[in-house]
Amino acid sequence: MINVLNVAEKPSVAKSVSGILSRNQLRVREGRSRYNKIFEFNYSINGQACHMLFTSVTGHLMELEFEESFRKWHSCDPADLYLAPVRKSVPEDKKDIKRTLEEEARRCQWLVLWLDCDREGENIAFEVMEVCRAVNRQITIRRARFSALIDREIHEAVQNLVAPNQWFADAVDARQEIDLRIGASFTRFQTMLLRDKFIIDSAQEERNLVLSYGPCQFPTLGFIVERYWEIQSHEPEEYWTINCSHTSDEGVATFNWVRGHLFDYNSAVVLYEMCVQEPTATVTKVLQREKLKYPPYPLSTIELEKRASRYFRMSSEHTMKVAEDLYQAGFISYPRTETDCFSSRTDLHAIVREQQQHLVWGSYAQRLLDPGAGLWRNPSSGGHDDKAHPPIHPTKFSAGESAWSQDHHRLYELVVRHFLACVSQPAVGAETIVEIDIAGEQFSVTGRVILSKNYLDVYRFESWGGSIIPTYAFGQQFTPTSLTLDSGVTRPPPLLSEADLLACMDKAGIGTDATMHDHIKKLLDRFYVTKDANTRFSPTSLGEALIMGYDNMGYELWKPYLRSMMECDMKEVSVGNKSKDEVLTRCLQQMKSCFLDARTNKIKLLEAMEVFFQRSDRSGGDDVHAVGETVRLCGLCQESNMVLKRSRDGNFMVGCLGFPQCRNAVWLPGAVLEATVTNNVCNSCTPGPVYLIQFKFRQIEIPPGFSVNHLGCIGGCDETIRQLIDICGTGSRTQARGRVPSTTPSSNSRPSACTYCHQTGHASASCPSQLSASRLSRSQARNQQDGESSMSCNTCGTPCVLRTANTENNRGRKFYSCPSQSCNFFIWEDNLNNGIGARNVPRADTVNRRRAGRGGGLQNGGHATGVTFVSATGDPLPERRCYKCGDPSHFANVCPHRGS
């Protein structure tokens, strides 16, 4: 009999697998860690008698970190972190787990790894292997692959052990190192640059505030900010559409204008008047066809998170926590998978059979298994397979456990119903499309009747909207019951919901199925974004300022492209197409270049923060915590670098990054206008290297004989610098405090709500409810500047451009009409020349523009005595009546009886 050390990723998984393999005939003893017990039992692997010792870790056993000398924030230039040595080691809080593994591995011949079967789990497996091999180099290592904590899967896994996958582990190592170096460098840079310069009201304790940067976190924030900017920049635009409906004994058909809508009001009026003059509708097409609505693909992690958010408003983080609970209890398969297609080896019928006893969907499961019902259909493939786990599906029947929360019930139901739906026939409907012609304008309507609901019977989360329309025949003619010209206003897109955000991340390749929810949570924890009750995200001022700063630099560090390329590279590592070192070298070179560019343009970050936050005086006016370019190692503390800095009042100094513990500083001549650290090294000063600084002095402040440009050293050897300090003095801290820079406090508030409609997203001046004569009058004024003839309205003073009539009775005749919505001014040009006064007529276009879409009709019930329809040119339209009430004084769209 051989001793086999088995290691699972979590204590609960070790307990479940041990219980399955031993049929609960096992002995339990304590390990070094009180949380990670050891289970012992006998078992046979491929005929070999084994004494099994089963224990666990708690996620990653090791952490990747910088060497001690690089861990303090002020110990080095952040740019040095791209090459600083790193090491992987067991942290103090997991030393007990390590000791347990070492003690048990010494007396075992085999090591069987039961870690989760994704890349992250494979990396943890290699961490366990490293610890065990250090004390037992002869130990044989095997890997168990499983996707569900059920008897069949576990027994099959232990009888088919495989070798660990080095490529999977390498891909995670590459990702960890890239994220550590990029995240640490940018986080230190932007935190030290911004934290003490501004009053950031989101911080509980501003001194401890960390403005973190993550290569996945920032592109995710970018999606949210970009959508927010799109909403803020949206300008509402008024449009017009023709609506037509027809009521018969069989019901009502609402036809849609094929053109959709027009933004040009005059064109819409002309087309509408053509339809009003010849309102007879002719049926030009009747198409009847069978329509199918297909069930969803098998369930992947991203789809589970999106649907849980959409159906139950559960956050992606909470969804994964609940799914993990269900998995560890054996009710669903492994919840972290990119796969949305089932293997031919999966016994789908067996999964359905387990659900037959359920009181709600059990009868549907029985119909699925009945060959005579014809409901079964092999599931479609979504085209994604991570080669590690099947799609998420139920693995054990439950009528609902007493210990479950409402969300556990919901998520289990979603997984079961989704699985039953994806092995079902699509819904079948009969769809009818009818197209009509009115005066050359095309309208259409679609009606649908569901013939067989099929998968929709069980998948209650989806519906197939449809409506029954009257029967029409080709060539049939009828008069519409209503024909109206209505206005509307374009709307901006909505804020991103959690489901939308997950879809954006998935499409751009940001994060993995196992990490996307973590990146979203990080944004909320850092207060870069907020989420409302509808799970829609808005950036905070802090989040928006950071994205704005990087955007203003011209570098797309907040865009998904760089991270997407990295994720592709890491996927190539996981399949053996690229080496870990190759990917690390390329990615880190690229990101270091971006970091150096960002630091050079850090003024853009400061300017963006000033838009949202007020300056702080905590740093005493000298910005002592600001990050600058490294000049030398501090000779006083000999731990931190000294960097070139510039105080708020413009004075330069070289100060130690160990401030306030180390206050070593060299104040430079007050005459310095510009200063930049170069790559040149002083040959005299020690300890080195001491980098030379390129100075530019103010000509008016230095004596004759001194050059405006000087390449100097602050190590003590530079006679020119010493003389200028004696002559001009330095920008000392006392001087800096005595100066009061003229700054304008910047607002930290968001755009206020519109004073008209009380909504955000637009200014009051561009409120869609107030679209009026102002825009039209500006347009007409521009036309006048372009040489067109115009006159002022004698009622409201708005410029009226000379226009030409195109009606049969007055074709070619010139007229002026007021574009204002509140004015009816109209006059023919020849009447004006003949001295005939203008008239105010209730023109059709004026009525429509003033009333359409606002629910109002003409005053006094809409019965204006002695008034007939007139066209946009002022010509009467005889025998035109309202379709609703027959009154000749108005169109149906402004009828006071409309909607009654």
H helices of 730-838, where?
A: 733-738, 773-785, 829-833
Q: What is the DSSP string of 279-330?
A: --EEEEEEEEEEEEEPPPPPBPHHHHHHHHHHHH---HHHHHHHHHHHHHTT
Instruction: Report the C-alpha gap between 555 and 711 in whole angstroms.
Output: 31
DSSP state, residue 47: T
Structure tokens at 296: 């969803």
**HEC-encoded secondary structure of 664-702:** CEEECECCEEEEEEEEEECCCCCCCCCEEEEEEECHHHC
Burial of 660 (0-12, 13-18, 19+ CB in 10 A): exposed
Q: What is the DSSP string of 156-213?
A: HHHHS-B---HHHHHHHHHHHHHHHHHHHHHHHHHHHHHTTTB--TT-SSGGG-----
433 - beta bridge partners? 287, 446
Vertex 60, ends 164 and 70: CA angle to 5°? 115
Name the strand (E) or helix (H) holding 127. helix 119-135
| Phi-psi map region of 113: left, alpha, beta (phi>0 left; psi -120 to 50 alpha) | beta
Pairing of strands 281-293, 477-478: antiparallel
Catalytic residue among 272, 297, 334, 472: 334
DSSP state, residue 836: P
Q: What is the DSSP string of 704-736?
A: TTS-SEEEE-SSS--HHHHHHHHHH-B--HHHH
CB 40 within 8 A of CB 52: yes
Residue 403: what are its φ and ψ, rounded to 5°? -85, -5
CB 262 within 8 A of CB 241: yes
Identify whether 228 is a catalytic site residue.
no
SS3 551: helix
Longest Cα separation, the chain: 120
CA distances from 633 to 247, 658, 665 (A): 87, 11, 12
Which residue has 């970050």 as its token pair?
A: 605
Strand order in the sheet with 691-697: 672-681, 691-697, 709-712
Q: How many residues does the chain have?
A: 900
Residues with catalytic function: 334
